[in-house]
Amino acid sequence: MKQIYIFTFIIVMLAGFNVFAQTDIGPDSKQNMSNDWGKSANEVVNQSQEKSHIPDYLIEQYKNAKLSRNNEEKLRVGQEIEKYLDKVVPVIEKPEERTRVVHENAPFQGDWNPTDITVYTGDVAYQSSYRQLDLKKGEDGNMYLAVNRRNVSGSNGYISIYRSSNGGLTWSTVISISNTTAYFGSLTMLVEKRHATIDDSTRIIVYYTRSGATTFNDAYIECLTVKRNGTGYVIYNLGAPAAGNKYEFPSACSDGMYWDVATYLHLVVREATNAGAQVGLRHYLTQNWCVSHTNILINTSNPDYYPSAAYCEKGTGNDSIYIAVERRVSATEYEIRAIITCEWLTSNNYAYYITAATSGTKYEKPCITVQQQQANVARKILITCTKNNIGRYHSSSNGGSTWGVDYALGGANFLSDFTWCNSDSLTAGDGYFIACYVDQNGDSITLRRGIIGNLGAYNYKINKIMSTGTLAPVCAIYKSGATKYSAYAYAGQGPANVYYNQEHLPTYISPVGSNIPDKYSIEQNYPNPFNPSTTIRFDIPENKFVKLFVYDMLGRKVAELVNEELNAGNYEVKWDASAFTSGVYFYKLQSGNFEETKRMLLIK
Per-residue pLDDT at 316: 63
Tell me the residue type at 513. Answer: G
Per-residue pLDDT at 317: 59
Together in a domain, 253 and 228: yes
Together in a domain, 431 and 570: no
Above 80 in pLDDT, residue 11?
no
Q: Which residues contact 205 (CB under 8 A, 6 or more apart)?
A: 189, 190, 191, 192, 223, 224, 225, 252, 265, 290
Average pLDDT over residues 87-107: 67
In this structure, of 40-44, 198-202, 226-230, the range with the lowest mean pLDDT score is 40-44
Q: Tell me 293's DSSP state.
A: -
Together in a domain, 528 and 496: no
3-state secondary structure of 210: strand
Domain end point (choices 502, 531, 551): 502
Average pLDDT over residues 568-581: 83
Per-residue pLDDT at 458: 86
Per-residue pLDDT at 114: 43
Above 70 in pLDDT, residue 223?
yes
Domain end point (choices 480, 502, 524): 502
Above 60 in pLDDT, residue 15?
no
In angstroms, the CA 167 to CA 49 distance is: 45
Say what the pTM is: 0.81
Domain end point (choices 485, 502, 519): 502
Per-residue pLDDT at 367: 97
pLDDT tens-digit series, residues 519-565: 999 999 999 999 988 999 999 999 998 999 899 999 988 777 887 77
Per-residue pLDDT at 115: 62
pLDDT tens-digit series, residues 33-81: 888 888 887 787 766 666 667 888 888 888 888 888 888 998 898 888 8
Residues β-bridged to residue 544:
566
Task: Please report, for the domain that includes residue 521, its CATH number.
Answer: 2.60.40.1930
pLDDT tens-digit series, residues 427-484: 887 899 999 999 887 788 999 999 988 888 888 888 888 899 889 999 999 987 778 8
Residue-number span of the structural domain to which 530 is assigned: 509-602
Residue 245's Cβ-count burial label (10 Å; 0-12, 13-18, 19+) is: buried
* Interior angle at CA 113, CA 107 and CA 115, nearest 5: 60
Top pLDDT among 4 and 105 is at: 105
Per-residue pLDDT at 564: 72
In angstroms, the CA 462 to CA 479 distance is: 19
Together in a domain, 257 and 322: yes
Per-residue pLDDT at 111: 29
Q: Are 382 and 410 in contact (CB under 8 A)?
A: no
491 found inside a domain: yes
Could you tell me the pLDDT band of residue 133, with boundaries at 50, 70 and 90? Answer: very high
**Percentage of the chain exceeding pLDDT 90:** 51
Average pLDDT over residues 598-602: 96
**Percentage of the chain exceeding pLDDT 70:** 89
Together in a domain, 497 and 519: no
Top pLDDT among 539 and 566 is at: 539
Average pLDDT over residues 125-139: 89
3-state secondary structure of 194: coil
Top pLDDT among 458 and 148 is at: 148
DSSP 395-418: EESSTTSEEEEEEESS-TT-BEEE
In angstroms, the CA 128 to CA 61 distance is: 42
Together in a domain, 532 and 461: no
Select from 377, 336, 328, 375 the least CA-distant residue to 356: 336
pLDDT tens-digit series, residues 332-379: 999 999 999 988 888 888 899 999 988 999 999 999 999 998 767 888
Per-residue pLDDT at 18: 41
- How far is residue 224 from each of residues 150, 181, 205, 286, 489, measured CA to CA in Å? 18, 18, 6, 13, 22
In angstroms, the CA 493 to CA 498 distance is: 10
In angstroms, the CA 446 to CA 438 distance is: 6
Together in a domain, 468 and 494: yes
Together in a domain, 464 and 515: no
Average pLDDT, the chain: 86
In this structure, of 148-152, 320-324, 377-381, the range with the lowest mean pLDDT score is 377-381
Could you tell me the pLDDT band of residue 581, with boundaries at 50, 70 and 90? Answer: confident
Q: How many domains does the chain have?
A: 2
Together in a domain, 472 and 562: no
Together in a domain, 545 and 412: no
Together in a domain, 147 and 127: yes
